[in-house]
Structure 1
Amino acid sequence: MYAIVEEGSRQHRAEAGSILHLDERPVEVGQRLELTRVLLLRDENGAVVGQPLVPGAKVVVEVLGEDKVKTVTQKFRRRKASKRLKGHTQRYVRVKVVEIVKPGNDTAASA
């Protein structure tokens, strides 16, 4: 079972037990969050596609910590002795998917 969730400006494929990197937010390690913007839900019976969201579906995640990723953009023109280097450090929150809650009945797929 998996779900496609929208968080921020990105879409993530969430399976029970998988690790996701979400945009930075003020959270504590061990805190649980609910991602309610579920666009697609797939299980053994087939897929449910939202119009635009699947009503009643949610993904519960647990915060594991924070990550930082350095992003570098480099421009180089040959034979002109011109090089330009720009970059920034993007911060993320690393989370683990605990369960995916289906709409209607309260059965969930947990890790």
Structure 2
Amino acid sequence: MLAVVKIAGQQFKVKAGDSLYVPHIEGKTGDKVEFSEVLLTDNAGSVTSGDKVTAIVKAEIVNDLIKGDKVIAFKMKRRKGFRKKHGHRTQYTQIKVTDIA
């Protein structure tokens, strides 16, 4: 079974047993989480979408906090002495999908 689920404003295509990185969600390693905002399901060729979808995606948190790559925003205006440097690392959570019910 395949499902498209909305997690923290982003859409992910998941199957049972998949491991993926999602934007940081609250919880500790080993906690069970459920995502009820399922947009589409595909069960052996029968596709369901829209308001008719009643599935819930169940997952387990594998790693509660993972930092992404460093992103640097650098602004400069030549011959003016203006330089501005900002950087950040986005935080992610690794989850493993256990069931789509």
TM-score, normalised to structure 2's length? 0.80
Counterpart Cα distance in 2 of 1:39 and 1:72: 34
SS of 1:30 mapped into structure 2: coil
| Dislocated runs of 4+, deviation >3 Å | 73-77, 80-85
- After superposition, the C-alpha distances for 1:44-97 in whole angstroms (9 at most, x for unaligned) are 13210123x712x101101000210122334578xx478754321111111001
1:94 maps to 94
Alignment size in residue pairs: 97
CA RMSD of aligned residues (A): 2.0
Counterpart Cα distance in 2 of 1:4 and 1:75: 38
1:58 maps to 56
1:30 maps to 30
Is 1:18 matched up with 2:18?
yes
Letter of the 1:96 counterpart: K
Letter of the 1:40 counterpart: L
Where does structure 2 lack aligned partners over 5 or more consecutive residues?
none
Counterpart Cα distance in 2 of 1:74 and 1:43: 47
1:71 maps to 71
**Between 68-77 and 85-94, the greater mean CA deviation after superposition:** 68-77
SS of 1:29 mapped into structure 2: coil
